Structure 1
Amino acid sequence: MFKNARFFRLDQPFEFTAAELEEALGGRRFRPCGPIETATLGWTSPLGEETTALVQAVSGCYLICARRQERLLPSAAVAEALDERVSELEAGEARDVGRAERRRLREQIINEMLPRAFTRSRRTQLYLDTESGWLVVDSSSEKQAEEVVSLLRETLGSLPVRLPDPVRPAANVLTSWLLDESAPNDFVPGDACELRDVGEQAGVVRCSRQDLASEEILNHLRAGKQVTKLALEWDERLSFTLADDLSLKRLRVGEALLEELDGDDMDPAQRLDAEFAILALQVRQLIARLDEVFGLAPNSPAVPKTLASELDAPF
């Protein structure tokens, strides 16, 4: 379901029920761009446009989806039209067009071209884990994730969240895992990483399909580079690339966990529930493990012992 994960810590317990959250999101339901709008952003069904429900709830986790639509108006096309308009005015009226008039002409051209522009949509899934107190956003872009979090905050009126602020910097920990071969047994380094200088030069080395224990990689680390991204497999349950801001990319659930879904005769809603339950459980336990390794949030609540039994219940 999720290809990426950015974590935001909830500073307060999330008190909304699924029904209350559904009602709140309904006030900012997605609508397409109007004729002269450059973009719109709102909430849509995580199941797709065939359904209307805005919240999919599984054992204290609320899956929701934001949709952004924008009109594609190439700046080069606007600039070309503006140059033509300015040339016509200057030739026809024998005068120069000033900067302020050019701005007005540009706005006029954009308003004329917008209704004919193509549109493009982007969906961003996220979920609130009310049991462990984390918001998880499926986005590889920090800006995109912040935009969706801001939309949720505006929709609910308040949403105190913060990014992880690890006690032990992730780059230092990941570097020691490769340099000293000190990774915990449940974290197995893969074959890809990004190494970055800490000095002013900020040189970057990106490795893919490489033996990360090779002398070539170790020499970069001995020379002072730090690991800022590292491909990992966690406990044979999840694989991902962990960045130094503790975001995850290329997130994949282990095949063994998905085997139980093979061949099941489920409708789309049931299958989403099942996939979401597996994902939510594994990510919740991964966050708890990352908390142990990096110290994500002082005094963070422990993962409830009843979670596994709740999410493992038949669908």
Structure 2
Amino acid sequence: MFKNARFFRLDTSFTLDAPALEERLGTRRFRPCGPIETATMGWAAPLGEDTTALAHAMGGCLLMCARKQERLLPSAAVAEAVDERIAELEAGEARDVGRAERRRLREQVINEMLPRAFTRSRRTQLYVDTEAGWLVVDAASEKQAEEVVSLLRETLETLPVKLPDPEKTPSTVMTDWLLQGSAPSDFVPGDACELRDADDKAGVVRCSGQDLASDEMLNHLRVGKRVTKLALEWDERLSFVLAEDLSLKRLRVGEALLEEMDDTDLDPVARLDAEFAILALQVRQLIARLDEVFGLLPAR
């Protein structure tokens, strides 16, 4: 279900149960863009369009889905239409169009083009682990995650969360794992990583399909580059790319954990429910393990 995971630690216990959360989310249910709206954002059913519930409870976790719809209005198309209007005015009235009038023309063009613009939707799944005290967001970027967290905060009127603040610097730890071959036995480095110069943020080496223990790779580390992203497999249960901000990308559940579902005839909704149950449990245990490795500061 989740391809990415960004963690936010809850400062206080999450006290809403599924019915209470459902009621709150219903106040900001998703609706499509209006004719002159550039974007709308609200809550959709996390288990798909065939269901109606906005909050789904499983194993102490509450699953939600934020949906954002945007009208696609290319800036180049707007600029071209504005230039045409300006050219017509200047030719027809033999005068220059000032800056304020240009802004008004641009607003007019946008209002005329918006109702005809195509729309694009993006769904972002997230869940609150009420037992472990974490909010987990399936977002590829920090901006996307913060946008969804802000929506949840506005919906609930309060949401005291913060990013993890590790005692040990993740990039330093991951660098030592490769340079010293000191990764814990349950964290097996894969074949991809990103290296950066400590003093030059522009100096980046991205590797994929490489032997990370080779002399070629280790020489980059010996001259001062640091690991900022590292592909890992954890305990044969999850594989992912761990970033220096402790976010996960390319998240996949181990095949062995999904084999039982392949032997059962589950409808799509039931399968999503089962996949979420497996994922949430494994991620809960992974976060606890990351806490041991990096020293995540306590929430309360």
Report the TM range for the smaller structure's normalisation. Answer: over 0.9
Alpha-carbon offset, residue 97 of structure 1: 0.3
- SS of match in other structure, 2:259: helix
- SS of match in other structure, 1:154: helix
Taking the TM superposition and a 5 Å limit, the aligned residue runs for 1:164-179 are: 164-179=164-179
| Range moving further from structure 2, 92-101 or 262-271 | 262-271
Q: What's 1:192 paired with?
A: 192
Structure 2 letter corresponding to 1:157: E
- SS of match in other structure, 2:290: helix
Q: What's 2:131 paired with?
A: 131
Q: In structure 2, what is the Cα distance between the partners aligned to 1:140 and 1:93?
A: 51
Unaligned runs of 5+ in 2: none
What TM-score results when the alignment is normalised by the length of structure 2?
0.98
Give the 4+ runs in structure 1 shifted more than 3 A. Answer: none
What TM-score results when the alignment is normalised by the length of structure 1?
0.94
Alpha-carbon offset, residue 50 of structure 1: 2.1
Taking the TM superposition and a 5 Å limit, the aligned residue runs for 1:288-303 are: 288-298=288-298
Q: In structure 1, what is the Cα distance between the partners aligned to 2:133 and 2:150?
A: 18
| Range moving further from structure 2, 149-158 or 254-263 | 254-263
Taking the TM superposition and a 5 Å limit, the aligned residue runs for 1:117-128 are: 117-128=117-128
Q: In structure 2, what is the Cα distance between the partners aligned to 1:55 and 1:170?
A: 33
Alpha-carbon offset, residue 266 of structure 1: 2.1
Kindly indicate whether residue 83 of structure 2 is the aligned counterpart of residue 88 of structure 1: no
Unaligned runs of 5+ in 1: 301-315
Q: Deviation digits for residues 22-44 of structure 1, max 9, x if unmatched?
A: 00000000000000000000000
Q: What's 1:308 paired with?
A: none
RMSD: 1.0
Alpha-carbon offset, residue 200 of structure 1: 3.3
Q: In structure 2, what is the Cα distance between the partners aligned to 1:279 and 1:11?
A: 23
CA contact (8 A) 2:48 2:269 kept: no
Q: Deviation digits for residues 63-119 of structure 1, max 9, x if unmatched?
A: 100000000001111000000000111111111100010000000000000000000
User: Are residues 299 and 6 of structure 1, via their aligned partners in 2, closer, same or farther at CA, if it must alter by over 3 Å?
Assistant: closer
The number of equivalent residue pairs is: 300
Q: In structure 2, what is the Cα distance between the partners aligned to 1:282 and 1:297?
A: 21
Q: What's 2:108 paired with?
A: 108
Alpha-carbon offset, residue 299 of structure 1: 6.1
Structure 1 letter corresponding to 2:244: D
Q: What's 1:234 paired with?
A: 234
Q: What's 1:205 paired with?
A: 205
Taking the TM superposition and a 5 Å limit, the aligned residue runs for 1:16-95 are: 16-95=16-95
Q: In structure 1, what is the Cα distance between the partners aligned to 2:298 and 2:125?
A: 27
CA contact (8 A) 2:237 2:254 kept: yes
Q: In structure 1, what is the Cα distance between the partners aligned to 2:286 and 2:61?
A: 15
- SS of match in other structure, 1:228: strand
Q: In structure 1, what is the Cα distance between the partners aligned to 2:191 and 2:265?
A: 37
